[in-house]
Amino acid sequence: MKFRRLKVDRTTRQSETRDSLPLRPAPTDDHALARDLAVRAGELLVALRSKAGSSAGERWTLRDDGDMGSHHFLVDELRVARPEDRVLSEEGAEDLRRIGAGRVWIVDPLDGTREFGEIDRTDWAVHVALVIDDHLAVGAVSLPAQGLVFSTLEPPVLPPRDTSGPPRMVVSRSRPHPATILAAETLGADLVPMGSAGAKAMAVVRGDVDAYAHAGGQYEWDSAAPAAVAIAAGLHVSGVDGTELEWNKADPWQPHLLICREELAAPVVAAVQAAIRRQPGGGRA
């Protein structure tokens, strides 16, 4: 898909949005544990990747080994460190005992499996989050190939926004949602294609882009840790319709996600909702 500078339509009404819910208080050692696990799982993945061959078959094997190796590492470490807690992992079997549990770790052992299998790409991540009483409390996102980690232990400092040019919206490099592209057109925003959800969310945290609007649906493990880090950094976090996100649901499907600068929340919500209504079938994301 070709990305281009898009025209501004300033007639869109701004929808009302709610401020992001604050993180639920959690012990300092929970924040430290999340960060440590995200870093160490990332180191495991980097080491695994360094031994990979270049054939298509070897890349597929690398992806599978990365997913499961990181999953088993995280689950085993959490079983030792927090034996009473429950775990929801992308790669794990469903355990409905987590429903109603006071403490649930939500992890994505390898966010951006496709990018991980492309040796020259760095936009993949490890997510570790803790939900307390169904509210986000702790989060850590590591970008192992970039040697970076962002966590609620030491919340990132959001840099000043560069207002010298148009706003920048990060989108999927392989499957950008039509509503996001139409919303960018309304906002006059530049589109920045990128890989994993964690990499896209941390691009907002780092100030590389101004907004990440995902209207195509994902799972709680894709968004929990990035959302926690973004909230800790002072960003707006909600659905693309401005509603509060829910966590540790029986069905972990998360229909949409918005992470952006607070001052952009209302216009982005309005633009995305208008774009969705223009799609065949209309309705909400």
Q: What digits encode the pLDDT tens for the residues 10-69?
A: 232 334 565 677 899 998 999 999 999 999 999 999 999 999 877 777 888 999 999 999
In the chain, CATH 3.30.540.10 covers: 28-151
Average pLDDT, integer, range 118-137: 97
pLDDT at 30: 98
280 vs 40, higher pLDDT: 40
Give the CA-trace dihedral at 244, 134, 79, 41, to 10 degrees: 10
> What's at 8, amino acid-wise?
V
Q: Which residue has the tokens 């989060």?
A: 139
Question: Which pLDDT score, from 0 to 100, does residue 13 have?
Answer: 32
Q: According to the model, what pLDDT value does residue 215 have?
A: 94
Please give the share of the chain, as a percent, with pLDDT higher than 70.
92
Of residues 14, 13, 19, the one with CA closest to residue 243: 19
- Report pLDDT for 16: 52
Q: What is the pTM of this model?
A: 0.90
Average pLDDT, the chain: 91
Res 19: pLDDT: 65
> Where in the chain do CATH 3.40.190.80 domains reside?
168-278
Mean pLDDT of 272-282: 84
Confidence grade of residue 90 (pLDDT, cut at 50, 70, 90): very high
Mean pLDDT confidence for 255-283: 91
Q: Which pLDDT value is given to residue 20?
A: 75
Query: Buried b vs exposed e over 91-100: b needs ≥16 C-beta within 10 Å?
Result: beeeeeebee
For 200-228, how does the pLDDT look when each residue is reduced to its tens digit (9 = 90+)?
A: 999 999 999 999 999 999 999 999 999 99
In the block, residue with structure tokens 């994301």: 285
Give a three-class secondary structure readout of 198-215: HHHHHHHHHCCCCEEEEC
What would the mean pLDDT of 127-133 be, rounded to a whole number? 99
Which of 55-59, 180-184, 218-222, 267-271 is least confident? 55-59
Q: Is 213 exposed, middle or buried (CB count within 10 Å of its CB: 0-12, 13-18, 19+)?
A: buried
pLDDT band per the 50, 70, 90 thresholds, residue 249: very high
101-113 pLDDT, tens digit per residue, is: 999 999 999 999 9
What pLDDT does residue 4 have? Answer: 27
CATH no. of 28-151: 3.30.540.10
What distance in Å separates the CA atoms of residue 83 and residue 78, rounded to the nearest whole number? 7
- C-beta separation of 228 from 138 below 8 A: yes
Does the 168-278 domain belong in CATH 3.40.190.80? yes
Beta bridge partners of 257: 214
- Res. 152: pLDDT tops 80: yes
CA distances to 39, 68, 88, 90, 97 from 93, in Å:
24, 12, 8, 8, 12
Helices (H), the chain: 28-50, 56-81, 113-116, 178-187, 197-206, 220-232, 265-278
**Is 60 exceeded by the pLDDT of residue 7?**
no
Query: What pLDDT, on a 0 to 100 scale, did the predictor assign at position 58?
Result: 85
